[in-house]
């Protein structure tokens, strides 16, 4: 109970890493939107394992099928169900992990909560679960662009202590996709890739930070006091596997400034729009978008499943050692980029629909 | 639309800073719990303005009244409504701000979204709104302790660059309340107080970080994949006024470690419980509590409303200057401590009720 | 947990019949709507006890106070909290009922569920709880009329076997309010009043049927497949105290016709609108409004609390007899009319906001 | 937006009558419940078209596949997705109906709401949508029986004016399934079948009433004031295709009695349980189950799609005539029985989980 996200653009995901498949049901999609499986596939391919030398070598095509909600290429306004079949499973890789808990993984807590667990490949706690999110995010992105020209661009900002220099106001998707680590600072990307390969060879893993920008967001999205825009985005990205931190605008660093240095002063631009001279607010004030770019960052810990030997216990509580088998990403960051974009898109799309409903109704 | 929080322990707040009052309706409180207005008042007094020389000098008693849901000192299982009347208002302090937007405040976005705004003291975006949260949090805390012995302790970890040395595993409420800045590191607290006073005299403001620990949380709370425990906590605290960042366990700093250094290895303790040697996970793995202490941090920006003069615009978009009148906190951190505790308590209480329902039912 | 109704126009009620008061928080009201306490009071006065010789002689002014969400006579888009203080309580009337369960009342089930009960006057199960619904309904009605010219008119269709002849397509509020039983068939109303008085003198009670029409409802409201318009209306009115049945359009009687007799054939009217020749569908087809008048009926059982002596048991399970004291309505129907109107208004208002959000967004 | 039902046992259905398939995602199922596709199939077979000479001759095997949430024959506590592929479609039967609205069907309202419609076989408004409900209901039934011994039995009570004599307190599933019309009064069933066949030959249709009983329901289920047990059941069954009315216990007929005749007097039975002498309340008082059998009735109108010629209009608003092609049920009642059972099971299961969570938590 907790597999549904959103109020008006409502997404329910399902599926374990091994079993029939994974997918999503999207309820509340506006009707008459043109959408194709190919467009969704494009986003799924960015999330797909085996896409490059720095991701897991598991080969999963992750081909999606639209089961409902689309007719003659257009959305019906009815639920859109999307299914991706599971393939290329090697349950034997997980034999040992059926008995031994992976440190910092969800194996032990799933057992504690449910008293049962699909031990093949992480089950529901596998990153494979995010396929449904990314598929739904592809549709959300399309709606956001069609309705308001909103574009959402995520990228790897930092791998361990290697930090790229990137301007969120001008970065393009082409720049992000120009290298396999998805860091638009080409020189830094080189070093990141090299470092990930080296760590992978050691059987270890590393983490980092994804930054994401949403541009052309209209003023007025967000529903105080609990469903503030940054609160819902925080929930969305903190529900992604391996995320450990979130910040918006100036974030933690902003706490080092005084108010007079931190505040975003207002001015009126040439078109008569009220704008801010700086953007330490990250595009949101009082929980409501202010028309500036929304800029946020998400911290992802190093992958928990590693080949290095570690202390752990068995399901029966016996002390033991585990050196994980299987084919795991030494660094989730490149594949986390489309996941972060998806969650930001889901939140913005939900709030766009909520806002249009509540506040425009009297003047329509 | 966004003033309700929680699924089974469901809190709805209402009220602007000026007007009849502020309050909360709590739905889903277990019946037969002993509760008194005095217990709730105790938490409200920690949030209250005018409580010390480093908070706003506004004198608001914030006396609460329980309107429903309690009978002969015990909860009925019906909605508990709590009301705090507004007092000591000086709308004349806000005359100028009726026309001029405060930089980095919600004035402009509320106008953009709703086309109307109670300009007296921040209206709904005032921190006064959190009274309802803190009142509900007092009840949530009591339930958590009664059911499972859970205790939640927040404190000021950092003011600007002044960081206290505090052990979350042993810190006590008495230590937190032993000084007016609510930093249990007494020596650091002195310097924090001094710095806040100095900044206040300059008409400026500062921010910082609140850390919060939840102890004795049973294994199994949290509902993947969207309602992961840390995701709901993130949403809760990121919906507080002035919060800009959230992290759980190792947080952003954890991204600098390799997996082999970051993972929390398992062992079995003397009572046969599966435990972790370290706690970089912050008490949550895969979105589910693992029985270790839940440890989190929230970044609060410097107060937006300051007496220093700043550039801004009027409602009509004219460029102008504003030096805010009124009586504002130079630093929200001491009063943010009970707010963070309240949000953590609301989330844990909700998940405790959700978990008991879903997973115990077959064995009851 | 179950005191909130609606998705976008979301109403949370609170309060027991004895205690601080009863009320409601309305979240999601569009901003900039003119509203006054007097307008809400007008609807509350229609629900008020002691309004005529055929209702309970309890004198409760039920004066409402708007606590939040309205500023200078207009809604802010923030939660509107409305409070009605409890008055004129005679808990001594309930001394006996603290020990003895009233047959067909909620006394016993509340005890079974919660293990505690405010036995003074029915507590949360008292019809007094509907004050919050009627107050919220007053605002919903105003929105519906302002946005789309929708009007909602309920009336007493039948008392026991006395059935009025009323045309839902032309009936007016003035006709409904022209007599104290709220049956717009004046001649039948006379007989109804006489019968209620006679039953009341016998210490007994009677029930009947309220019919309600919503006119000028635009096509397109309702969200299949679960939140069909009639499904949400059914839930709304079946949550009213004493309701035992619901039907829409032809209802139970429609099951006696064949399809060829029952179907509403289509035609195009002079303005080019697709209309139906008959209206056995009751204004809703496939869960979505079709632009015809929405017509529904609700069955209310005879009041459970009567002065006639009946068999019952004590809280301890001892067999005993009870002749209820206190001042009870011999027939709830006249006061149920504004309650039914309120629930229909809440549902329509919620769906109006939901529909504007989902389907207009692409063309805005 | 409206395709999810339930709070803790939460069901989301998807799919149109033509397209990839129909199905359901069930979130909140307790873990470690044994369940197989065969058990679900058994319920689907009762809903299936072509099961007898009085249902539509469409041959749809409706074979279900469990995509997720079950591992080695047991539920995981994660979402259970179930898919039924669409087969045997004859879109050519619908060519005419792509242009002409079927009277009293959802064709016109879907077009009005969404501006687009899958005209092949009713699309989302097809009764085929209920496959997901019945599949989820099969699981809910199993939980209810496993946890509390609850059994739910529906049956055809009336076809047009042919009414069976059936005792809800003793009726068995075997009796219901002993004939194709699902009326456990064997003699009346004969006449019903004959009448349905005759009506079918005329190209016309008829309706009737399904009655349903839930036995062994524990005291205490239901969440006043809005989520009363009968209110949620009412919503559930009124969201079924073709339903026009709902009543609980004495229902509409109960309005003809006085209170002293209608009230259910209490007594204490030999085991010390508080019981009622009669059951006009239908097992629910004040919105909460009282331990007596829950008894309810649902009115279903005659099938809208008939072969007899009727007046209608085209999508462009031209007056025309339509004699529907395709293979339609002359009477939906026999197939509606498992649908009503499913909705009652979904509501009871949801409330069982909600109740265990809220009220047992303090004493666990």
CATH number at residue C84: 3.60.150.10
pLDDT at D364 over 70: no
Residue D361 has pLDDT above 70, yes or no: no
B: neighbours with 3+ CB pairs under 8 Å?
A: A, C, D
Mean of pLDDT over chain C: 93
Q: Which two tokens stand for residue A332?
A: 């989730």
* Least Cα separation, residue B141 to chain A (angstroms): 19
| pLDDT value of residue A88 | 61
Q: Does D221 touch chain B (CB under 8 A)?
A: no
Longest alpha-carbon distance in chain A: 70
Q: Which of A13, A67, A117 to mutate to test the interface with D (most CBs of D within 10 A)?
A: A67
pLDDT, tens digit, for every residue of C88-98?
Answer: 666 677 778 78
pLDDT band at C360 (very low <50, low <70, confident <90, very high): low
* pLDDT, position D195: 97
Range of the domain at A28: 4-359
Q: pLDDT band for position A364 (50/70/90)?
A: very low
Kindly list the distances between the CA atom of residue B97 and the CA atoms of A272, A283, B114, B325, C356, in Å, as whole numbers in the listed order.
20, 22, 17, 9, 34
Specify the higher pLDDT residue, C356 or D346.
Answer: D346
Residue C13 marked ligand-binding: no
**Mutate which of D78, D135, D352, D357 to test chain A, going by most A C-beta atoms within 10 A?**
D78
> A157, A217, A245, A249: best mutation site toward chain B, by most B Cβ within 10 Å?
A245
Binding-site residues of A for NADP(+) sit at 47, 53
Look at residues C302, C298, C338, C301 and name the one whose alpha carbon lies nearest to residue C211: C298
Q: Which chain C residues have a beta carbon less than 8 Å from that of D108?
A: 266, 274, 285, 290
| Residue at B364 is within a domain | no
Which of C208, C228, C256 minimises the CB distance to D255? Answer: C208
Annotated binding site of D for NADP(+): 47, 53
- Quick one: closest CA in D to B10, which residue? D358
Q: Please compute the mean of the pLDDT values over residues D154-167 and round it to a whole number.
A: 98
Where do runs of H (alpha helix) occur along D84-222? 95-99, 107-114, 130-148, 173-176, 186-201
Question: A–B: how many Cβ contacts below 8 A?
Answer: 376
In-domain check, residue B322 = yes
Q: Output the pLDDT for position C168.
A: 98
B34 pLDDT more than 90:
yes
Q: What whole-number percentage of chain B has pLDDT above 70?
A: 96
pLDDT at position B254 is: 98
DSSP codes, C112-157: HHHS----STTGGGSGGGHHHHHHHHHHHHHHHHHHH--EEEEEEE
Taken in order C95, C96, C98, C103, the sign of the CA dihedral is negative
D16, A76: Cβ pair inside 8 Å? yes
Question: Do the Cβ atoms of B81 and C16 come within 8 Å?
Answer: no
* Both tokens assigned to B231: 């995701």
Within-domain flag for A364: no
Contact D187, D312 (CB under 8 A): no
Mean of the pLDDT values across residues C2-13? Answer: 97
D196 CA: distance to closest CA in chain C (Å): 11
pLDDT in tens, A276-319: 999 999 999 999 999 999 999 999 999 999 999 999 999 999 99
What pLDDT, on a 0 to 100 scale, did the predictor assign at position B362? 63
The alpha carbon dihedral of A213, A215, A217, A219 has a sign of: positive
- CA dist., res. B298 & res. B301, Å (int): 10
d(CA C118, CA B68): 10
In this prediction, residues A143-169 reach a mean pLDDT of: 97
Condensed to tens digits (0 to 9), the pLDDT of residues C235-284 reads: 999 999 999 999 999 999 999 999 999 999 999 999 999 999 999 999 99
How many structural domains comprise chain D? 1
CB contacts of A78 in chain C (<8 Å) are 224
Q: What is the pLDDT of residue B259?
A: 97
pLDDT cut 90: percent of chain C above it? 83
Q: How far apart are CA C77 and CA B125, in angstroms?
A: 12
User: Which of C10, C68, C113 comes nearest B4 by C-beta?
Assistant: C10
Closest Cα of chain C to A264: distance in Å? 25
C126 annotated ligand binder: yes
Q: So what's the pLDDT on residue B360?
A: 66
Q: Residue C341's pLDDT band (boundaries 50, 70, 90)?
A: very high
pLDDT (mean) for C338-349: 98
D289 with D283: CB under 8 angstroms?
Answer: yes
pLDDT number for residue B364: 40
Do residue C259 and residue D223 have CB atoms under 8 angstroms apart?
Answer: no
Q: How far apart are the first and last CA of chain C?
A: 37
- Choose from C358, C360, C363, C364 for mutation: most chain A CBs within 10 A: C358
Which of A201-210, B110-119, D304-313 has the lowest average pLDDT? Answer: B110-119
Report strand pairing: D74-75 vs D70-71.
Answer: antiparallel
Task: Residue C113: list chain B partners with CB under 8 A.
Answer: 77
Q: What is chain C's percent helix, strand, coil content, to nearest 5?
A: 30, 25, 45
Whether B15 and B23 have beta carbons less than 8 Å apart is answered as yes
Q: What is the mean pLDDT of residues B198-226?
A: 97
- pLDDT at res. D300: 98
User: C302, D259: Cβ pair inside 8 Å?
Assistant: yes
Nearest to B301 among A262, A291, A358 (CB): A262
How far does the CA of residue B75 sit from the closest CA of chain D (Å)? Answer: 12
Counting residues of chain A whose pLDDT is more than 70, the rounded percentage is 96
Residue of B nearest to D28 (CA): B358
The whole-angstrom distance between B292's CA and the closest CA on chain D is 22
CA separation for the pair B28, B341 (Å, rounded)? 20
Q: Is residue D130 part of a domain?
A: yes
D89 touches chain C (CB under 8 A): no
Asked if residue A231 is part of any domain, the answer here is yes
Mean pLDDT score of chain A, rounded to an integer?
93
Q: Is the pLDDT of residue C18 over 90?
A: no
**Arithmetic mean of pLDDT, A41-48:** 94
What's the complex ipTM? 0.97
Question: Which pLDDT belongs to residue D1?
Answer: 85
Residue A142: helix, strand or coil by DSSP?
helix
CA nearest C111 in D: which residue?
A: D220
Judged by CB atoms closer than 8 Å, whether chains meet at A78 and D1 is answered as no
Contacts of B266 in chain A (CB under 8 A): 101, 103, 108, 311-313
* Interchain CB distance below 8 Å, C65 and B20: yes
Position B91 confidence tier, pLDDT thresholds 50, 70, 90: low
Residue A90 confidence (pLDDT): 64
Distance, in angstroms, between C167 CA and closest chain B CA? Answer: 38
Nearest to D310 among C110, C260, C285 (CB): C260
Residue D225 has its nearest CB partner, among C3, C232, C250, at C3
Q: Which residue of A77, A361, A363 to mutate against C (max C Cβ within 10 Å)?
A: A361
Least CA distance to B258: which residue of chain A? A206
Using the Cβ of C4 and the Cβ atoms of chain D, whether some distance falls under 8 Å is answered with yes
Beta strand spans in C169-225 (E) = 208-215
> What pLDDT shows up at residue B211?
98
Q: Is residue C198 part of a domain?
A: yes
Q: Which of C103, C115, C226 sits opposite D264 (nearest CB)?
A: C103
Maximum C-alpha span of chain B: 70
Q: Is the pLDDT of residue B122 over 90?
A: no
How many residues can be counted in chain B? 364
pLDDT at A56: 76
Q: Is B158 annotated as a binding residue?
A: no
Q: Angle at the Cα of C260 (from C256 to C266), degrees rounded to 5?
A: 120
Measured between CB atoms, which of B30, B355, B360 is closest to D358?
B30
C27-54 residue pLDDT tens: 999 999 999 999 999 999 999 888 888 8
CB atoms D19 and A115 under 8 Å: no
Q: How far apart are CA C143 and CA C30, in angstroms?
A: 8
Provide the shortest C-alpha distance from residue C5 to chain B (in Å): 12
Test D361 with B30 for CB contact under 8 angstroms: yes
- List A residues 140-199 in contact with C (Cβ-Cβ < 8 A): 146-147
Rg (CA), chain B: 21
Chain A residues with CB under 8 Å of B107 CB are 286
For C:19-58, CB contacts with D below 8 A are none
Contact A89, A18 (CB under 8 A): yes
Strand partners, B85: B21
Q: Nearest C-alpha of chain B: how many angstroms from A272? A: 7
The rounded Cα B34 to chain-centroid distance in angstroms is 24
B277 reaches A (C-beta below 8 A): yes
Q: Which of B32, B77, B361 sits opposite D147 (nearest CB)?
A: B361
* Closest CA relative to residue D234, chosen from D245, D219, D222: D245
Q: Please give the Cα distance from A69 to A137 (Å, whole number).
A: 16
- Predicted confidence at residue A119, as pLDDT, reads 80
Q: Distance between CA C216 and CA C151 in Å, rounded?
A: 7
Check if the beta carbon of residue A352 is closer than 8 Å to that of residue C362.
no
Interface test with C, best of A6, A357, A360, A362 (most C CBs within 10 A): A357
pLDDT digits (tens, 9 = 90+) for D303-330: 999 999 999 999 999 999 999 887 788 9
């Amino acid at each position: 109970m907790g597999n549904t996200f959103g109020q008006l653009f409502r997404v329910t995901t399902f599926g374990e890493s091994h079993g029939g498949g994974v997918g999503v049901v999207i309820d509340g999609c506006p009707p008459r939107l043109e959408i194709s499986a190919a467009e969704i596939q494009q986003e799924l391919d960015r999330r797909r394992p085996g896409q490059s030398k720095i991701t897991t070598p598991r080969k999963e095509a992750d081909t999606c099928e639209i089961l409902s909600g689309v007719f003659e290429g257009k959305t019906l306004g009815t639920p859109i169900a999307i299914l991706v079949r599971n393939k290329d499973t090697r349950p034997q890789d997980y034999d040992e992990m059926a008995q031994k808990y992976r440190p910092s993984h969800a194996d032990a807590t799933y057992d504690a909560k449910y008293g049962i667990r699909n031990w093949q490949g992480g089950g529901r706690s596998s990153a494979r679960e995010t396929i449904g999110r990314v598929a739904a995010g592809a549709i959300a992105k399309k709606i956001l662009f069609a309705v308001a020209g909103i574009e959402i661009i995520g990228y790897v900002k930092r791998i361990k202590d290697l930090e790229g220099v990137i301007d969120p106001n001008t970065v393009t998707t082409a720049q992000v996709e120009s290298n396999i680590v998805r860091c638009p600072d080409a020189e830094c990307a080189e070093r990141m890739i090299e470092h990930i390969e080296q760590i992978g060879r050691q059987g270890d893993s590393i983490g980092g930070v994804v930054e994401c920008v949403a541009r052309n967001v209209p003023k007025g999205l967000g529903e105080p006091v609990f469903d503030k825009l940054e609160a819902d985005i925080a929930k969305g990205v903190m529900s992604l596997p391996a995320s450990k931190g979130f910040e918006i605008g100036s974030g933690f660093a902003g706490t080092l400034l005084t108010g007079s240095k931190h505040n975003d002063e207002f001015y009126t631009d040439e078109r008569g729009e009220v704008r801010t001279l700086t953007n330490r607010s990250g595009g949101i004030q009082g929980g409501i978008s202010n028309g500036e770019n929304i800029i946020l960052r998400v911290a992802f810990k190093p992958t928990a499943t590693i080949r290095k030997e570690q202390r752990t216990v068995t399901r029966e509580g016996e002390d033991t050692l585990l050196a994980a088998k299987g084919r795991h990403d030494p660094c989730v960051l490149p594949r986390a980029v489309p996941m972060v974009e998806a969650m930001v898109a889901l939140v913005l799309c939900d709030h766009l629909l909520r806002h249009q409903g509540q506040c425009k109704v009297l003047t329509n």
